[in-house]
Structure 1
């Protein structure tokens, strides 16, 4: 079924990935603007992109709560974006590395911190090994090489929406796996 401006809300509520792609393609500009205007650290494109991704995924996860038409949907999505930006701003404010002076103070990691960082990385890599090859490649480019979603899409010859979708589904599978479930269970 082709997703159009007439049926995207209904399909979005049914959790159709094609509807998510339509929403991302249609509203990426306005969501990016809302986030950019509500976050103080504009130079960190990685955090802004993460916030944008969280906005679309949050809307997708809570799609059934939405009631209204396409204009209401745009307002609803912008509200989610604003609160995701506020949450990101709080996360940044709580971070011990918010200023250059703090960065210099925390530049030297203790042996314990280094050990836990290495252990978490090994655990993440073990969980990622359960993903499909394409998803592993995307996760590696995103979280280990710090590439932007569009760069990943260009590198792999797929759309940015496909990268966003695979990141979303992969995070969901990893979360389920980390909670003791099987990574190969079908996600709804």
Structure 2
């Protein structure tokens, strides 16, 4: 059977390698861009390639957990790519010694970035499932696709104020979920 955009999710869940090949061919560009943007400061092409491979392996291994359509799949694979890059950064930061003052300045992260780095990939994905679908979309666009609030509002047909409020409330909700242990 030929793998197409209409049936690749079904075949990926059945662990057909042809479906994985389709996913790699279809999504390699965006996955590479996300990972490269996150890991470019390490100036290590092999590290980027390894992270890309880890992403597609993670997609294949966890494909049965995915539920949704092709657009949801695009967000899902982007989220996995971003978290794999964050995991690499976390592992590398534990082994490297920061010696340059500019590196120290670059290491300072915002509260949102620190939250995502602190949490494991699986925990973040589980927590995000507790949010409303619109809020999940907003978080994915904001923190994994690095879109600005204005772009998100235009894409979703919401006001910028609504996006700002949903981000604020969503962060509070994720913090409650994390602190309250509501992941089960």
Compute the TM-score of the two structures, normalised by the length of structure 2: 0.51
Cα shift at 1:38: 1.8
Cα shift at 1:39: 2.1
Partner of 1:21: 21
Partner of 1:43: 43
Partner of 1:87: 87
Cα RMSD for the two superposed structures: 1.7
Matches of 1:29 and 1:6, distance apart in 2: 20
Compute the TM-score of the two structures, normalised by the length of structure 1: 0.50
Partner of 1:71: 71
Alignment of 1:6-155 (within 5 A): 6-96=6-96
CA change 1:99–1:63 in 2 (3 A) is farther
Matches of 1:10 and 1:18, distance apart in 2: 12
After TM superposition, what 4+ stretches of structure 1 lie above 3 angstroms from structure 2? 96-100
Residue ranges of structure 1 left out of the alignment (5+ in a row)? 101-188
Which structure has more relative contact order (CA 8 Å, sep 6+)? It is: 1
CA change 1:92–1:72 in 2 (3 A) is same
Asked if the contact 1:42/1:48 (under 8 Å) is kept, the reply is no
Matches of 2:71 and 2:80, distance apart in 1: 14
Greater helix content: 2
Cα shift at 1:97: 6.8
